Amino acid sequence: MFVKNSLLLAAALTAGSAVARLHGHERRHAHPKPAEVELEKRVGEVVTATIDGVLETWINEWSGVIAAPTSSSTSTTVVQVPTTTVAPAVPEFTASPSNVESTVVPTPAASSGGAWSESPANGQYSRDGFGGVSKAQKVGVLDWDYIGNVGLPWGSNIIEVAESAASQYKHVLRFEGSHSEPWNVVFWNTYGPDNKMTGFWAPNKALHFTLAPGEVKYVAIDDNSQGGWAAAPGSVPTTNFGQYAATWGEFDMSSEKNDGFSGWDVSCIIAELNDLEIQGMRICNHLGQDCSAIGKGLSSLLNAYTKNDQGNNHLAVAQASGPVRLVVQLDYA
C-alpha cells in the first residue's frame, strides 16, 4: 500500500515492532506513521517508511506550510497538498528471524532476585502514584489502531517507584544501569497526548530519568498500557524528523484486547535505518527467562527486531495474564 495523503509525509522513517502482537491472529509487526506531527519538514528528501510490513521509499513534496486564513472569524485553514506523487521504489529483502541466529544464552542476573519480584499475598495490586485510567478506544480496523490506557493525565500510567514498594505493583521493570557512564531513559505511550500514534516522537515523555553507573531504578506500568522506552548514554538521540532513535524496549501490559496477555521486545530498527549507534539492551523476566536482547553494535540477537525483521510477527516475548517482573539491562554487550 502506498500512502498518498501528504499529511503522512511528515512521519518519515517510522518503523519498528509493535508488541500488540502477542498471540494468535493479533500478532502483527509495524509502526505506522503518525498523521500530523509538528516536525521539521524537508522538501525533496527521500522518505523511507514501513507500511503494512513493507519498506517503501518516495520523495517528500510537502513543505508543511499551511495557508494563512483570510479572516480570523470566517476562514478555514487549508493544507497545501502536492499535485504529484512519486511512486515508491520498494527494495527487496528477506526477513531473517533473529532468534534463529542468536548467540545469547539467557542466565539469571545475580542482582535480579529479591523482594521486589514478589507479589502481594492477597493478589491486590497497588495503583498508588498512577493517574486516572483513560478509556480504551478502537480508532481503526488494523491491529495497531487501538489506544489503550495512556493515563489521565497522559503519561501518568508509567511511574518510577521505590524498591521497597515495587512488589506491590502488577507490572514492574527493574532497570540496571551501565557500569561506565550515566544513561538517560525516556518512556512513552504508543499514542501521544493528541490521540495519534505520536508518543515516540520528541518532545513527548511519559517518564524520564537518568541512571548513574551501576544504579538501579524501578518502574511500574498500569494495566492495558502499550508503549516503550529508548535508552542511551547522554541525551537520547532523535532522527532528523524527531523520532526517538536509540535502541527501544517495547511493552504491552495486561492487554484488554489480547485477553490479558503481556508482551515485550527490544528493537533497533529506527537506529539501524538511520545509521545511528545501536546500544545494547536485554529484557528478561526476573528468573532470567523469556528474554529479548540486542548486544551493543548488533554483536548478538535474541527475539529482537532489526531492520531485516520488519514484517516478522514471531519475535516478541508473550506472557499469559498475571503479574510481570522484568529486568532491563542497559549497555548490554
Positive or negative, the CA dihedral 299, 305, 308, 314 is positive
| Least confident stretch, 91-95, 121-125, 220-224, 280-284 | 91-95
- Structural domain span for residue 266: 115-330
What the block records as the C-alpha cell of 219 is 518502574
CA pair distance 264, 228, nearest whole angstrom:
9
275 domain residue, yes or no:
yes
Report the domain count for the chain.
1
Identify the band that residue 327 occupies on the pLDDT scale cut at 50, 70 and 90. Answer: very high
200 compared with 22, residue with greater pLDDT: 200
CATH number at residue 210: 2.60.110
pLDDT in tens, 37-48: 333 334 455 545
Mean pLDDT of the chain: 75
Helix ranges restricted to H, 96-255: 163-166
93 falls within a domain: no
Lowest mean pLDDT among 61-75, 141-155, 207-221: 61-75
pTM: 0.70
Spatial contact of 250 and 228, defined as CB atoms under 8 Å apart? yes
Establish if 197 belongs to a structural domain. yes
Residue 20 lies in a domain: no
If one counts every other C-beta atom within 10 angstroms of the C-beta of residue 46, the result is 12
Residue 33 scores a pLDDT above 70: no
5 in a structural domain: no
| Radius of gyration of the chain, Cα coordinates, nearest whole angstrom | 20
Q: Does 125 map to a domain?
A: yes
Q: Is residue 277 part of a domain?
A: yes
Domain annotation covers residue 19: no
